[in-house]
């Protein structure tokens, strides 16, 4: 996105130079001396034009990387509950969201998109948990909610609301990071991401959940593996 912005700005700058040069030629005539006197002013105006154009494009391109997207709190809540269940520690829910935020920043997507894409519980839930991507806080149970739990949906809806508040606090930056630099999570059975033990190390874990959070290994030169 930033490259596109730079290319567009360069094109507009060249166009501005051409237009200003043409105007100077028509107004002042074809004299080489007059054209020489006009050129610095044209370049200065073109540079001002470029600076004014580049600033908003760069801001827009960078800002898009940190945009959470529509219903980001709801999608991250679904992912957090889907991955951790109903009774996980608050910090564990927050750590799930932190991974989505961090990966969204690294890839230039939204946290809403990342929650839908990265959480297997949301992306491809097993048939008996098809309700995970349908979770909400409304009175009526989700379409795929187990019939034998219909009478107690209101209790689960309350819990969805509680987890949603944790998620919102993370998205608003109101909670301090609970799992520094984590870029991946998965169950204990999943093991190291991609089996690449030399490239990943444990970032954190929380009592009462089988999920593990992973960060990239820092090598001796200070870089990441």
The answer to whether residue 80 sits within a structural domain is yes
The answer to whether residue 42 sits within a structural domain is yes
Last residue of a domain, one of 65, 91, 107: 65
Same domain, 21 and 90: no
Same domain, 156 and 59: no
CA angle 128, 133, 137 (to 5 degrees): 105
Residue 202 domain boundaries: 72-216
Phi, psi of 174 (to 5 degrees): -90, -10
Average pLDDT score over residue span 160-176: 96
Contacts of 168 (CB under 8 A, 6+ apart): 73
Same domain, 57 and 76: no
Rounded CA separation 135/160 (Å): 7
pLDDT tens digits for range 80-93: 999 999 999 999 99
**Does pTM surpass 0.95?**
no
Burial of 81 (0-12, 13-18, 19+ CB in 10 A): buried
> Which among 200, 195, 199 has a CA at the least distance from the CA of 213?
200
pLDDT tens digits for range 105-125: 999 999 999 999 999 999 999
Same domain, 96 and 175: yes
Same domain, 51 and 137: no
The answer to whether residue 221 sits within a structural domain is no
Same domain, 193 and 138: yes
Instruction: Please give the tally of structural domains in the chain.
Output: 2
């Amino acid at each position: 996105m930033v490259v596109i912005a730079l290319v567009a700005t360069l094109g507009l700058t060249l166009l501005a130079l051409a237009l200003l040069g043409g105007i100077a030629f028509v107004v002042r005539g074809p004299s080489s001396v007059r054209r020489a006197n006009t050129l610095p002013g044209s370049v200065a105006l073109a540079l001002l034009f470029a600076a004014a154009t580049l600033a908003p494009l760069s801001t827009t391109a960078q800002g898009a990387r940190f945009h959470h997207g529509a219903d980001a709190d709801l999608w991250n809540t679904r992912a957090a509950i889907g991955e951790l269940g109903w009774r996980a520690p608050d910090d564990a829910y927050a750590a799930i969201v932190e991974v989505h935020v961090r990966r969204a920043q690294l890839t230039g997507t939204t946290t809403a998109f990342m929650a839908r894409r990265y959480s297997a519980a949301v992306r491809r839930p097993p048939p008996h948990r098809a309700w995970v991507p349908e979770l909400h806080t409304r009175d009526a149970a989700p379409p795929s909610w187990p019939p034998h739990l219909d009478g107690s949906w209101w209790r689960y809806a309350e819990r969805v609301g509680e987890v949603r508040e944790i998620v919102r606090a993370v998205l608003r930056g109101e909670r301090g990071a609970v799992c520094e630099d984590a870029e991946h999570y998965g169950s204990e059975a999943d093991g190291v991401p991609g089996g690449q033990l030399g490239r990943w190390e444990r970032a954190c874990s929380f009592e009462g959940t089988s999920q593990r959070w992973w960060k990239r290994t820092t090598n001796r030169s200070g870089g990441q593996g």
